[in-house]
Amino acid sequence: MSAPTLFERIVAREIPSTIVYEDADYIAIRDIAPKAPVHLLVIPKVVSARIDEITGEAEMGRLMLTAVKVARSQLSDYRLVVNVGKGGGQEVFHTHVHVLGGWEEGSPVGFGA
C-alpha cells in the first residue's frame, strides 16, 4: 500500500486544516498559501493522482458540481483551476480543484492572478 497523500492525511485529521465543506465523498479546505483573497481546495476523498485519471462521467461531474457548490457558498464570481501534472504546476498528486476569488473590482488580470 502506498503512503497516504497529504490530502488523505487532512481528511483523517492527521494534519490540521481549515475545513469549509465536507460530505461523504468530498472535502474543501482553505489553501495554506493562498494565491487569492479566497483560495479553497475541493478534494475528492477517493484518491486519483490527477484529474485526467478520472474517467467516470458521474465522478467528474460530481467533482465539478461540488466545486461550484463550494465556490457559490462563499463567492459570487470566482475562478476554478486544476493543475494537471508537474508541467501543469501540480504539486500535490491527489486530484483537487482550486477555487479562487474575492479580488477587488478590476482583478484578476488574465490568468496570472
Enzyme catalytic residues: 96
83/31 Cα distance (integer angstroms): 14
Q: Which of 3, 55, 87, 91 binds ligand AMP (CB under 6 A)?
A: 91
Q: Is there binding between residue 90 and ligand AMP (CB under 6 A)?
A: yes
- Contact between residue 94 and residue 47 where contact means Cβ atoms under 8 Å apart: yes
97-101/26-30 β-pairing? unpaired
Give the one residue of 8, 15, 47, 102 binding ligand AMP; rule: CB under 6 A. 15
The dihedral formed by the CA atoms of 61, 62, 63 and 68, expressed in degrees to the nearest 10: 90
String of contacts with ligand AMP for each residue 44-73, x by CB under 6 A: ------------------------------
Identity of residue 75: L
Comparison of 29 and 63: residue with beta carbon closer to ligand AMP:
29
Does 83 bind ligand AMP (CB under 6 A)? Our answer is yes
If we measure between CA atoms, which residue out of 43, 48, 59, 57 comes closest to residue 10? 43
The answer to the question of residue 33 lying near ligand AMP (CB under 6 A) is: yes
The contact set with ligand AMP (CB under 6 A) reads 6, 15, 17, 29, 31-33, 41, 83, 89-92
